[in-house]
């Protein structure tokens, strides 16, 4: 250290405290980086790498970015999973001799960044903290720093279950204490989530944030608050008490199911288009859009709360004019939650306070409209709205109508708010006019027509009188300032007073205005909780209005709930698919699960609509339990506690898992966690392995769900042999998606009908895909050959069920029953049919038949 210059020594001392972050070290108008930070940042940010003499033998690598445009560079680093420590000059360089004092004022991390182009105002940006309570039991706390909204929940399961919930909430950063870091790091390192550590020691009394949560969950909350205090280094008054999310109070949807159902993110391109959120997002405010996304993440599982929301939507749906008035008013309300967050953290600008004021101007109208509604439930809703009259009064008196974005260049405070500021402004704006008036008055008083008032940088303002006219002036009023060859320059007490006022008016005015603005902003902090409560009510109202609007537009109906597990959807539709196509062409379908027959085995060709049918049932359940009307003619639904899906095929390349392994892991997770009140959607389980293995696994799963869980289930398959299970499993019903042949080609009817499909139409689908005719013809011939081979019989053997809880190896009864055919099948697999003559092929087939008959 002693070999470096004092400035570099200061840099290294600060950097030692923030080794895991890029240190943006303020030097004049730039943030500079040195040593390894410079080497790495110059590559990531694509900026020029230079060097400087720091007192050592070798020059020090250096790069920098202008402080006024640093936000974009910071955002780039954070998006790539890095942290950035902002080190500012905390002393005025003009008032200090030697090295200016510097210290880190904030650390920006993937979970705490709240501003920038990459931040979607319509989504919550959560940072979380986890704590292990016992084996297979964790607490998970998370909050949105921009809005102050925080939740905590109990997670039952292993590390994968915890990570699934973290991913479902879209967290970019998770904070843990050292004991959990090692075990969690192994699972999280290959995912786009930053794992940070904190010791959980809070700087201030934060007990009020944990009042309504179980005591065993507070450690995760304390870890999170401690980390935020350490990184943000600012007041966090806007943080709301953590809300305890009980598992029994919500419909749980794991990350895989959210992805498979495309609830908030499209599988195809990762955007919101084509998702349930996209369909329902007719909200007028950003806070409303966030509330909608939050409801989709965590639908309700309380019948009374669900029906209360549905009642409000029904009332809004029936009163178009009321709904239109509310929507119009809400469009003029800004993001009160984020405005409150900026105020609390000291980042609010004059424009932010103006937006708060303009929003509050609309609240009395909203309250009045609801108070005069026809329905009692909407009138009661009006009572929850606080118009924040005191807040509006302060802002109306103090904040200019159109303030600038900058807080240090004036123009934020209204005229008339502060007398001294008005004087400064008057002097600054009207200084020249006052000087001209003073010049006229002095000429009239003295009779000297060439008397003038001038200015120079050295002497300031002065009254200049030619020597030939000095005898006309009353010199007792003047104080000599400067003598020239043919004139004298004077100053009066009045001019001296005005000179100081005029010369310093603009600078003093800006300084005073900034002080006044800060005082107003500090006063706003005392009202943050009221603004947040108002924002919560308005965001809920915004979503309910959106539900009513969308329900009317797309002909949705109000669902009915009961206490059983029967699920009856008449002429249900997939709302997103229907929106993206001609609505008149969409084929609706019934889904009938009764108390005694609540498992559907769905067969039918590829592209016929099996997956769409399964997804639309799940979306109907989710829409109903967030309080929205649903896409069908009628719906009688149970309260579903969890939805699990295994739809589609996708390798997890990041963790090196194959499609089949992912299929098995997702299936195991579903079977291990499902209850009688759950909904399971399994699409073509077992297709990633051999036919007999896949068929065995599929049958074993259905048997286990039937005997041990009893959940509602939709199970699609191409294994037609499984359709015989309806004779063995009394709660299993066969249905199929209809198709027909027309002139040798398949026509998909997209209609779900009773009974099993008679064929798969796989070759017909290949024909539709455009495979060459030679391949199609050859496939048809081979199909005839293979269909002539006796198919194995699927048997139901409760004693040989596969355990998905410990994944013990079991001998499949199906595999046992088909050992005698394996040798023939191996020959079929190995046969080079493309290079055989027709006679040779026929001879081989005859040989196979002989062997099978002998066996």
CA distance 521 to 526: 9
3-state secondary structure of 283: coil
Task: Kindly list the distances between the CA atom of residue 457 and the CA atoms of 71, 443, 495, 505, in Å, as whole numbers in the listed order.
Answer: 39, 24, 16, 16
Instruction: Write the burial class of residue 627 (CB in 10 Å: 0-12 exposed, 13-18 middle, 19+ buried).
Output: buried
Coil, strand or helix at 188: helix
The per-residue DSSP string of 650-712 comes to: --BGGGTB-HHHHHHHHHHHHHHH--TT-EEEEESTTTTS-HHHHHHHHHHHHHHIIIII--E
Residue 269: the pLDDT is 81
pLDDT at residue 787, as a whole number: 63
Element (H, E) at 849: helix 838-854
Q: Please give the sequence-ordered ranges of beta strands (E in DSSP) within 398-500, or none if there are none.
A: 452-456, 460-466, 479-483, 487-491
Please list, in sequence order, all residues whose beta carbon lies within 8 angstroms of the beta carbon of residue 378, skipping any fewer than 6 positions away: 312, 315, 316, 322, 370
pLDDT at 795: 52
Nearest to residue 13, comparing CAs of 1, 3, 22? 1
Q: Where are the domains of the chain?
A: 6-108, 119-245, 300-388+527-553, 419-516, 560-807, 818-855
535 vs 113: CA distance, rounded Å: 21
Q: Maximum distance among all alpha carbons in the chain?
A: 144
At residue 251's C-alpha, the angle toward residues 250 and 254, to 5°, is 115
Three-state DSSP at 785 gives: helix
Q: Are 412 and 430 in contact (CB under 8 A)?
A: no
Which residues have a Cβ under 8 Å from the Cβ of 58 and sit 6 or more positions away?
none
For 491, the 3-state DSSP assignment is strand
What is the rounded distance in angstroms from the CA atom of residue 449 to the CA atom of residue 444? 8
Phi and psi angles of residue 483, each rounded to the nearest 5 degrees, phi first: -110, 130
Name the CATH code of domain 6-108 (choices 3.40.30.10, 2.40.128.110, 3.30.930.10, 3.40.1170.10).
Answer: 3.40.1170.10
CB 527 within 8 A of CB 336: no
Q: Which of 153, 134, 127, 137 is nearest to 224 (CA)?
A: 127
DSSP 8-class letter at 744: T
Strand pairing category for 126-134 and 173-176: parallel
pLDDT at position 56, please?
Answer: 79
Looking at the domain that runs over 419-516, which CATH code has it been given? 1.10.1420.10
- Interatomic CA distance for residues 256 and 268, integer angstroms: 15
Sheet holding 102-108, edge to edge: 50-52, 60-66, 30-34, 22-27, 84-89, 102-108
Reported residue count of the chain is: 855
Q: How far apart are CA 185 and CA 84, in angstroms?
A: 21
Assess contact for 786 and 841: CB atoms under 8 A: no
Beta strands in 43-169 (DSSP E): 50-52, 60-66, 84-89, 102-108, 126-134, 137-144, 149-156
User: What is the rounded distance in angstroms from the CA atom of residue 541 to the CA atom of residue 283?
Assistant: 9
Please name the fold of domain 119-245: Nucleotidyltransferase; domain 5 (3.30.420)
pLDDT of residue 648: 63
Q: What is the token pair recorded at 396?
A: 């109306």
Binding residue numbers: 604-611
User: Rounded CA gap, 262 and 575, in Å?
Assistant: 12
Nearest to 676 by CA among 702, 700, 642: 642
Q: Residue written as tokens 């308005």?
A: 538
**What is the per-residue pLDDT for 789?**
65
Q: How far apart are CA 618 and CA 647, in angstroms?
A: 12
Q: CATH topology of 119-245 equal to that of 419-516?
A: no
**Positions of the chain with pLDDT under 50:** 649-656, 796-817, 819, 855
Task: Determine the pLDDT at residue 786.
Answer: 64
DSSP 301: -
Structure tokens, 381: 């809703």
Q: List residues forming the annotated binding site for ATP.
A: 604-611
What's the rounded Cα separation, in Å, for the pair 545 and 591? 29
CATH number of the domain located at residue range(s) 300-388+527-553 in this protein: 1.10.1420.10
What is the third-level CATH fold of 560-807? Rossmann fold (3.40.50)
- Asked if 116 and 75 count as a contact pair (C-beta separation under 8 A), the reply is yes
What global pTM score does this model have? Answer: 0.81
Phi–psi pair at 60, nearest 5 degrees: -95, 130
The Cα 765–Cα 607 span in angstroms is: 8
Residue-level pLDDT at 823: 72
């Amino acid at each position: 250290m002693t070999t470096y210059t004092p400035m570099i020594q200061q840099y290294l001392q600060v950097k030692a405290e923030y080794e895991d972050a890029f240190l943006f070290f303020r030097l004049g108008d730039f943030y500079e980086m040195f040593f390894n930070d410079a080497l790495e940042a110059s590559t990531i940010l694509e900026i020029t790498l230079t060097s400087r003499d720091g007192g050592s033998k070798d020059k020090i690598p250096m790069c920098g970015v202008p402080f006024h445009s640093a936000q974009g560079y910071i955002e780039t680093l954070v998006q790539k999973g890095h942290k950035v420590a902002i080190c500012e000059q905390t002393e005025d360089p003009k008032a200090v001799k030697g090295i200016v004092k510097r210290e880190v004022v904030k650390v920006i991390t993937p979970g705490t960044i709240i501003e920038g182009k990459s931040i979607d105002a319509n989504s919550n940006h959560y940072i979380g903290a986890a704590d292990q309570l016992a084996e297979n039991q964790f607490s998970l706390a998370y909050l949105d720093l921009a809005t102050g909204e925080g939740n905590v929940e109990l997670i039952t399961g292993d590390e994968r279950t915890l990570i699934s919930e973290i991913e479902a909430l879209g967290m970019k950063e998770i904070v843990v204490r050292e004991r959990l870091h090692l075990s969690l790091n192994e699972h999280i390192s290959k995912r786009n989530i930053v794992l940070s550590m904190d010791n959980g020691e809070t700087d201030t009394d934060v007990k009020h944030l944990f009042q309504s949560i179980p005591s065993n969950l507070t450690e995760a909350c304390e870890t999170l608050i401690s980390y935020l205090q350490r990184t943000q280094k600012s007041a966090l008054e806007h943080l709301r008490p953590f809300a305890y999310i009980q598992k029994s109070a919500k419909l749980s949807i794991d990350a895989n199911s959210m992805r498979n159902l495309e609830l908030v993110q499209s599988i195809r391109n990762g955007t919101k288009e084509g998702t349930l959120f996209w369909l329902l997002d007719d909200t007028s405010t950003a806070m409303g859009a966030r509330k909608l996304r939050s409801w989709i993440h965590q639908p309700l599982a309380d019948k009374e709360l669900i029906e209360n929301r549905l009642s409000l939507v029904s009332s809004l749906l029936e009163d178009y004019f009321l709904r239109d008035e509310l929507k119009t008013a809400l469009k003029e309300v800004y993001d009160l939650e984020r405005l409150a967050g900026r105020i609390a953290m000291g980042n609010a600008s004059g424009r932010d306070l103006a937006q708060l004021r303009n929003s509050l101007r609309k609240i009395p109208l909203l309250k009045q409209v609801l108070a005069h509604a026809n329905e009692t439930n909407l009138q009661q809703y009006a009572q929850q709205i606080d118009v924040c009259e005191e807040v509006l009064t302060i802002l109306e008196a103090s904040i200019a109508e159109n303030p600038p974005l900058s807080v240090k260049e004036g123009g934020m405070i209204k005229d008339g708010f502060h007398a001294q500021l008005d004087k400064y402004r008057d002097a600054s704006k009207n200084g020249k006019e006052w000087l001209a008036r003073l010049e006229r008055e002095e000429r009239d008083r003295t009779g000297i027509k060439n008397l003038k008032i001038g200015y120079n940088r050295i002497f300031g303002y002065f009254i200049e009188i030619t020597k030939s006219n000095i005898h006309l002036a009353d010199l007792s009023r003047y104080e000599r300032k400067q003598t020239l060859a043919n004139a004298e320059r004077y100053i009066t007490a009045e001019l001296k007073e005005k000179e100081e006022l005029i010369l310093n008016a603009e600078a003093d005015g800006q300084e005073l205005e900034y002080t006044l603005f800060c005082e107003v902003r500090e006063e706003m902090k005392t009202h943050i909780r009221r603004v947040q409560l108002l924002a919560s009510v308005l965001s809920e109202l915004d979503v309910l209005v959106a539900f009513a609007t969308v329900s009317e537009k797309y002909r949705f109906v109000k669902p009915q709930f009961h206490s059983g597990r029967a699920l009856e959807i008449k002429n249900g539709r997939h709302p997103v698919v229907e929106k993206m196509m001609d609505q008149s062409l969409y084929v609706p379908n019934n889904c009938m699960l009764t108390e005694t027959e609540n498992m559907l085995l769905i067969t039918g060709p590829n592209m016929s609509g099996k997956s769409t049918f399964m997804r639309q049932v799940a979306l109907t359940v989710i829409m109903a339990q967030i309080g929205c009307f649903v896409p069908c003619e009628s719906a009688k639904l149970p309260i579903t506690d969890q939805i699990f899906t295994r739809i589609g095929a996708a390798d997890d390349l990041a963790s090196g898992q194959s499609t089949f392994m992912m299929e098995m892991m997702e299936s195991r997770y579903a079977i291990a966690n499902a209850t009688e009140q759950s909904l399971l959607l399994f699409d073509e389980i077992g297709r990633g392995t051999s036919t007999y293995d896949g068929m065995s696994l599929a049958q074993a799963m259905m048997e286990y769900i039937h005997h041990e869980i009893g959940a509602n289930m939709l199970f699609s398959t191409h294994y037609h042999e499984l359709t015989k299970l309806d004779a063995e499993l009394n709660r299993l019903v066969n249905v199929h998606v209809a198709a027909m042949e027309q002139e040798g080609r398949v026509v998909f009817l997209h209609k779900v009908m009773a009974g099993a499909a008679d064929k798969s139409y796989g070759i017909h689908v290949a024909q539709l895909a455009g495979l060459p005719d030679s391949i199609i013809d050859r496939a048809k011939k081979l199909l005839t050959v293979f269909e002539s081979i006796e198919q194995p019989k699927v048997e139901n053997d409760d004693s040989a069920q596969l355990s998905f809880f410990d994944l013990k190896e079991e001998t499949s009864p199906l595999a046992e029953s088909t050992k005698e055919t394996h040798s023939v099948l191996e020959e079929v697999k190995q046969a080079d049919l493309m290079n055989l003559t027709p006679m040779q092929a026929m001879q081989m087939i005859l040989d196979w038949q002989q062997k099978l008959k002998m066996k």
